[in-house]
Structure 1
Amino acid sequence: MQTVHPSWRLARSLCRTCRRSYSTQNHIPPLPPLSEWKTLFGSSATIVRDRVSVKSPETARSIVQSFVSGQSPAAGQGKIIVEAFPGPGALSRALLELPESHVKKLIILEDNEDYLNYLKPLEDADSRVKVVPLSGFDWDTYSHIEEAGLLNDVQTVPWESGLHPQLHFISHLQHTVKGEQLVAQLYRCIPDRSWLYKYGRVPMSFVLSEWVWDRIAGKPGTTKRCKLSVIAEGTAENKLSLGSGSLLPYDSHFHPSPARTAAGRPVGLRKPGHPMVTMNVVPHAEQIITKGMLDKWDYCLRRLFVLKSTPLKRAISSLAPGAQSLLKPIWDPSLPRDERVDINKPVRDFTLADWTILMRAFDEWPFAPEDLMISDAFTRQNAVRVVM
């Protein structure tokens, strides 16, 4: 998928805006010198090798500006921010440079001891900070911050009343398949208003690899279109806040430095060194995936995208025995054009409207399977340690 990146003029303008918006607060403990990062946060350790962190303070300011200030759809005052996977805390420090009128509280989730050495001093230096030495990938972490009273001052805002004015989730995404798994699970919390969404329409912002963004934003008919694309489109408005053009070259903005081939290219698509982007996620006021329907959507998407190049009229039998009977109510010529689906289209060409029509028919089908075999360890109350 072709991504439109901000021009160099926009990137330069953002930097100028950041200099005007941020105060110089000398009480914030600094990051270590960049020359020491390889030693302090060695890329040989798996936990570091699988994670990309912003290392440039100027880059961190530009990213924070695109998340919470200016033209960001998630901009607001008195923010209570939950930040996951901060690394040593470049974004954390940029957030703390904003006045308390902008950032009221910063809850940092990090379980890596090397990174904690540079995060815990922030807690001592600024009363707005609470460092929680737990992983943002674990469901129990979010239960812990609630039980500890860290969200007691978060208002519960009715879904129809607009974007939540306080609460905001910000995270680097892990640079492995776990990063994609995590963001997929967070999207899946939106329709049933679980996780932080029980407080209202909470915005999310991410630093992520461009290949994950391409899957989130995959358009019908493209090779990037997938189950994640459909769920993301159906639950939220997803927009780049900074394209990869503003975050290149990689080595000037991020840690760790990538392993490279003899030709100088980064090794492996899911390894550090490939282009990075940042994005904002704003849940839709009206949800296409209604409460109680998530498992059915998940089941049908998972089954049908296995056959994504196959026309629906042939792929639909993968849903269950007798599923061919679903074709008539979604492709009846007597129906208005906008209420029927072209069953000759391959699955990956389906629009969100097509999926909505199919899911309505599946929901009304009396012979739909009852056991949808959905494994969702993140949202189940009896979850074990990890999200997926």
Structure 2
Amino acid sequence: MGDLPAMSNYKSRSPAPRIPKLVVSTEGSLGLIQKGLDYNENPHEASLNDFKGRHTDSSIANYIAKETPIVPSPHKDNLLLSHSTVYLWQAIPSILEHPTVNAALPVYDPSAAPGSQKKRPWSAPPPPITFVSQMPNSSLGEQLVSQWVGSAAGEEHKRSWIWEYGRIRIALLCGKSLYDRLMAQPGDKINCKLSIFASAFFHITPLPPYHHVNNIDKHSKQVTESAKAPKPPKVKKSTVPAKGMPDPDILPEDILLPPPGTKTKTYHSDFYPGSYASGESLDRPLLLGVLLTPRLHSPIPAAQKDAWDYVIRRLFVRDTMTLEDSISNLAVGAESLLPAIEAEEGRGVPVSRKRVIRYLDLEEWARVVDVFDNWAFRPENLILDTMIGEDAIRSIGND
């Protein structure tokens, strides 16, 4: 890509990047991975696509870990190839458990059982593992990221999925709509439940190509300079000090921060498949990078994750309305919660009933959710029917 900013302009607080010890590339299409990456012909009779249609998610995980070949690439000694797909929830943990891959992971606890020596608690130093993915520019891509973000909730030794290995970083190359949702701030038009959960569980930093637009509209197009800053709310946030919130996490030192206002000039021909009809540069890149670095301490307790999901989902149905006008969406009689939400005592900060939903930040959401979660008449079932069940329900698509 043209006009990339020089690395000397970056606020680097760590040594120069190192070459990865091992890279595992996954691809759900056997034809693509064979033709594009010289993946050897699958020597097993059962293909992944046939296998997953007739078996449970746990048996698919076992198939990926023990039956699907993870083979070396002829291009690089440290590159391995795997015919698997992240649409299956257990695919990535199974790759980490594969003997070839697991052997390259550092031992954290030599005294643990053989299968757990590489796993580590959440409070341990982050492992040298980064999960990199180019997301489909569709609802499937957004659903995948939403599930990955939400799965980071948990107690010290009770996290599942890839989080059993500690605070693994996730680097995404995604479309503008998903990028804007991840980067959105309180008050932005595109601020949503994913924005709040992502900022609660992760440090979110942009990766190349850089081009973030503040207060982007819901179609991810450029806005005028005067419209970039969100309009100030009519009722401001309370100045009462927050209570019961974790201490702010410090951004890890090895995160590269681009200079303010950095933009990467890109063209249609920089992306495949692209249009070559115009030689003019794009207003924004078609794909944008973002790094999700797990926070050591999240304002969302594991025991309240379902309540946070329920409350934010319900209130964002009317995100341009005030809390007073929207709170009835939680349940019949929820208006009775307003005095406790406005009181000085309680978790987070007091929230005025006149505050607009879109402008609430994490400290304010903590108050609203905590009051709701301790309500005697709170609905018993806070989970959508589509979210009930084992991890198998998380699998997406048919690829």
TM-score over 0.5 (shorter chain): yes
Counterpart position of 1:177: 139
In structure 2, relative to structure 1, the CA distance for the partners of 1:205 and 1:363 (3 Å cut) is same
Gap runs ≥5 in structure 1: 1-6, 18-65, 78-97
Counterpart position of 2:86: 136
In structure 2, relative to structure 1, the CA distance for the partners of 1:150 and 1:191 (3 Å cut) is farther
Instruction: Identify which of 165, 174, 180 aligns with 1:208.
Output: 174
**Which secondary structure does the structure 2 equivalent of 1:282 belong to?**
strand
| Mapped partners of 2:132, 2:148: distance in 1 | 12
* CA-CA distance at 1:224 after TM superposition: 1.2
**Which secondary structure does the structure 2 equivalent of 1:292 belong to?**
helix
* CA-CA distance at 1:286 after TM superposition: 0.5
**Residues 162, 285 of structure 1: 8 Å contact kept:** no
Gap runs ≥5 in structure 2: 40-71, 106-117, 212-261
Counterpart position of 1:23: none
* CA-CA distance at 1:352 after TM superposition: 1.0
**Which secondary structure does the structure 2 equivalent of 1:208 belong to?**
strand
Is 1:120 the counterpart of 2:70? The answer is no
**Residues 337, 372 of structure 2: 8 Å contact kept:** yes
Counterpart position of 2:42: none
**Which secondary structure does the structure 2 equivalent of 1:339 belong to?**
coil
**Residues 167, 202 of structure 1: 8 Å contact kept:** yes
In structure 2, relative to structure 1, the CA distance for the partners of 1:307 and 1:387 (3 Å cut) is farther
Superposition CA RMSD, Å = 3.5
**Residues 202, 293 of structure 2: 8 Å contact kept:** yes
| Mapped partners of 2:385, 2:276: distance in 1 | 35
Q: Deviation per CA, 1:127-177, whole angstroms, max 9, x where unpaired? A: 43332212122213235425533553433233223322x211001111112
Counterpart position of 1:280: 291
Is 1:293 the counterpart of 2:304? The answer is yes
Q: Deviation per CA, 1:196-239, whole angstroms, max 9, x where unpaired? A: 11111111111122332211121111201111110011111101
| Mapped partners of 1:184, 1:73: distance in 2 | 30
Tell which deviates more after alignment, 218-227 or 376-385. 376-385
**Residues 89, 392 of structure 2: 8 Å contact kept:** no
Counterpart position of 1:157: 120
TM-score w.r.t. length of structure 2: 0.65
Counterpart position of 2:26: 109
Instruction: Identify which of 148, 164, 168 aligns with 2:130.
Output: 168
* CA-CA distance at 1:284 after TM superposition: 0.7
**Which secondary structure does the structure 1 equivalent of 2:140 belong to?**
helix
Tell which deviates more after alignment, 223-232 or 125-134. 125-134
**Which secondary structure does the structure 2 equivalent of 1:238 belong to?**
strand
Is 1:320 the counterpart of 2:307? The answer is no
Is 1:187 the counterpart of 2:153? The answer is no
Amino acid paired to 1:145: I
**Which secondary structure does the structure 2 equivalent of 1:181 belong to?**
helix
**Percent identical:** 24
> What are the equivalent positions in structure 2 for 1:1-388 lying under 5 Å apart?
8=3, 11-14=4-7, 71=12, 98=19, 103-112=20-29, 113-121=31-39, 123-146=73-96, 148-153=98-103, 154=105, 155-164=118-127, 166-192=128-154, 193-242=159-208, 243-244=210-211, 246-258=263-275, 275-332=286-343, 335=345, 339-374=349-384, 380-383=390-393, 385-386=395-396
Amino acid paired to 2:6: S
**Residues 73, 282 of structure 1: 8 Å contact kept:** no
* CA-CA distance at 1:380 after TM superposition: 3.2
**Which secondary structure does the structure 2 equivalent of 1:206 belong to?**
strand
| Mapped partners of 1:379, 1:336: distance in 2 | 33
**Which secondary structure does the structure 2 equivalent of 1:278 belong to?**
strand
**Residues 90, 161 of structure 2: 8 Å contact kept:** no
Amino acid paired to 2:125: G
| Mapped partners of 2:318, 2:98: distance in 1 | 46
In structure 2, relative to structure 1, the CA distance for the partners of 1:337 and 1:169 (3 Å cut) is closer
In structure 2, relative to structure 1, the CA distance for the partners of 1:73 and 1:151 (3 Å cut) is farther
Aligned pair count reads: 296
**Which secondary structure does the structure 2 equivalent of 1:104 belong to?**
coil
| Mapped partners of 1:331, 1:300: distance in 2 | 17
Higher helix share: 1
Runs of 4+ in structure 1 displaced over 6 angstroms?
72-76
| Mapped partners of 1:75, 1:139: distance in 2 | 34
